[in-house]
Amino acid sequence: MSPRRPAPSAPSPPASLRVVDAGGSSRRFVLPGEHGVVIGTAPHCEVRLDDAYVSRRHASVGRSGDRFLVDDLGSANGTTLNGRRLHGQEQLRPGDVIGVGRTRLTFACPPGGAPVRPRDPERRTAALVAVGAGLAAAGALTTYRWVGLIAGLIILTVGVRCAALNKVFKHGVGRKGAKDKVSGKTKKVTNFTVYTKMYEANRAKLDRDKDGIACEKR
């Protein structure tokens, strides 16, 4: 009796983008392995969007070896990656969310298709702060307002460090009417961002002088 041959393994699914517009409609775009694609509103764009806030040639996603890279193409409103502004090319990893206008594109890649790169935890926290702030603030304006609002508030409840928070809110966050507590001739911080939900989520660890402002910075 001849030995049984192992069954051939199923081919891995190709890398793709899940495109979700402002109304919640979604579609899947398979990324070609041999060339990059352009995201925009122009007729010749491979990923063509119907979004008034997207430029004709807004952003690109392409492959370089075993990596996929995203880049902004000089768009009017910029491109974000996981909630933070994109400056130059960056490598994509599974689950990354590209933001162009009011459209979100989630990158999916089979195991082995793109190596997982280490993330700077502080940078990732800053991105979460930005995403949470945006979702909480914009939640009431979208069709799925409660989903956006709840998701935003969940992210806001994650404690962050001042270094990460100050990347998004340069002079700190506080509740309305708060006044910076200082001693001597030290100048008070008055240009902090009034953001009660963000402050309440982090005041226990980040408002050390209990003055109603977290991570105040001059």
- Which residues, 6+ apart, have CB-to-CB distance to 129 below 8 Å? 155, 156, 160, 164, 165, 167, 168, 169, 198
Q: Is 23 helix (H, G, I), strand (E, B) or coil?
A: coil
Is the model more confident about 116 or about 67? Answer: 67
Predicted confidence at residue 109, as pLDDT, reads 85
- Between these two residues, 196 and 113, which has the higher pLDDT value? 196
16-54 pLDDT tens trace: 999 999 889 999 999 987 789 999 999 999 999 999 999
| 18, containing H or E segment | strand 16-20
Q: What is the pLDDT of residue 28?
A: 94
Please give the average per-residue pLDDT across 159-184, as a whole number.
Answer: 77
Instruction: Please work out, in degrees rounded to the nearest 5, the angle formed at the alpha carbon of residue 75 by the alpha carbons of 70 and 79.
Output: 45
Tell me, what's the pLDDT at 91?
93
Q: Count of alpha carbons within 13 Å of 35, Cβ hemisphere only?
A: 4
Q: With left for phi above 0 and alpha for psi between -120 and 50, is residue 157 left, alpha or beta? A: alpha
The more confidently predicted of residues 91 and 2 is 91
How far is 70 from 81, CA to CA, in rounded Å?
A: 9
Whole-angstrom distance, CA of residue 45 vs CA of residue 48: 5
* pLDDT value, residue 108: 93
Structure token digits, residue 104: 């979100």
Average pLDDT of the residues in 192-214 = 81
